[in-house]
Chains A and B, each alone.
Chain A
Amino acid sequence: MNVPVEHVLTLSAILFTIGVAGVILRRNAIIVFMNIELMLNSVNLGFIGFAAAMDSMVGVMFVFFILVVAAAEAVIGLAIMVEIFRNKGTLNIDELNLLKW
C-alpha cells in the first residue's frame, strides 16, 4: 500500500483529538472512558503507521503492551465506576466532586 505515512498519522491525530474533545465535553463517565479507549487506539494506529513506514517491528510490539494496559485499565476503571455508581447514584462527572475542595 502506498498511502503516505503522513496520512496515517493525520488520521491518528484526528481520532486522538476527537477523543480529547469527548473527554472534555461529555459528562457521562462511561462515555468519557470510551473516549479514552479511542485515544489509546489512535496511539496504536500511530505506532502501526510508523512501524509500516520504517520497516520496523518495535511499533507492533508496543501495540501489544498498550493493549494489555488498555484491557487492565478497562477492567479496573469500570469496576471503580460501578462502585462510584453504587455510592453516589450517578455517573455525571460534574457531580463527582469528592476529590475537589
Chain B
Amino acid sequence: MEVFFYLFAVLATVGAVSVLLIRSPVYCALALVGTFFCLAAIYVLLSSEFVAAVQLLVYAGAIMVLFLFVIMLLNLKSDQPFALKFSIPKIIGLAVTVGILAQLIGVLNSPAAKVGPSGEYTIERVSAEGATEVVGRLLFTEYVLPFEIISILLLVAVIGAVVLAKRYVASGEEESG
C-alpha cells in the first residue's frame, strides 16, 4: 500500500515541476491535471474517498477546463519571452523559495507538529458509516453556517462572472469561430 503513496507522490511532483518548466500553457494545464489526478489517488489512500471524487470533479474536471478555455480564447501559444530567463530578482526569489521549502519541511517534521490520533473519526468508524455520509452529517449539523455562507460566495461569483464577461460577449461578436 505504501508503495502507491510514494509512486503517486513522485508523479504529482513531476507534474508540478512540469507546470514550472513547460513553455506552452496548454501542456502546463494538462500537467496540472495529472498532478490533480495523483493527488486524488493520494486522498483515496488516506481514506478520504469523497474528497478524491470532488477533487476529480471540480479541479480536474471543471477548473482546469476553464483554464483551457481561457488559454484557447486568448490564443496564448507559448510563454513569450520564456519565463525562466533569470535576472537578479528572480534568483533572489528562487533563493527565498528554497528557504521556504527548508522552513516548511523543518517545521512540519519538528516535534511540535507531531500529532497522534486524538479525534473520534477513526478509519474503521468512517468506513463503517461511509465517508460521504460522515461529510453529509457534519456539513448539515456542525458546519451549517459555513455551508450557508458558501452559497453567498457562489452567488457573488456568479454575479461577478456575469458582470465581467457579459460586456465582452456583447461586444465580442466579431471574433467568431
- A residues with CB within 8 A of B: 1-3, 5-22, 24-28, 30-31, 33-35, 37-38, 41, 44-45, 48-58, 60-61, 63-65, 67-72, 74-76, 78-83, 85-86, 91-92
B164 & A57 in contact (Cβ 8 Å cutoff): no
- Report how far A39 CA is from B83 CA in the complex, Å: 19
Beyond A30-B25, A56-B121, A61-B135, is A85–B5 a contact (Cβ under 8 Å)?
A: no
- Report how far A58 CA is from B120 CA in the complex, Å: 11
Interface size class, chain B = 35 or more
- Report how far A19 CA is from B109 CA in the complex, Å: 20
- Separation in Å of the B104 CB from the closest CB of chain A? 4
For residues 127 through 147 of chain B, which have their beta carbon under 8 Å from a beta carbon of chain A? 134-135, 138-139, 142-143, 146
Listed by A's residue number, 24 A-B pairs whose Cβ atoms lie within 8 Å are A1-B2, A7-B6, A8-B46, A9-B108, A14-B101, A15-B35, A17-B98, A20-B100, A21-B94, A25-B83, A26-B20, A28-B25, A30-B25, A30-B74, A38-B35, A55-B122, A57-B119, A68-B150, A71-B62, A74-B67, A75-B66, A83-B168, A91-B74, A92-B80
Q: Tell me if A's interface is mostly helix, strand, loop or mixed.
A: helix
For residues 1 through 27 of chain B, which have their beta carbon under 8 Å from a beta carbon of chain A? 1-2, 5-6, 9, 12-13, 16-17, 19-20, 25
Beyond A56-B119, A61-B143, A75-B66, is A51–B48 a contact (Cβ under 8 Å)?
A: yes
- Separation in Å of the A32 CB from the closest CB of chain B? 9
- Tell which of B51, B67, B81 has the most Cβ of chain A within 10 Å: B51
Residues on B with C-beta less than 8 A from A54 are: 115-119
Say if the beta carbon of B88 comes within 8 Å of chain A. no
Residues on B with C-beta less than 8 A from A35 are: 19-20
Contact of B70 among A41, A72, A82 (CB under 8 A): A82
- Report how far A77 CA is from B171 CA in the complex, Å: 20
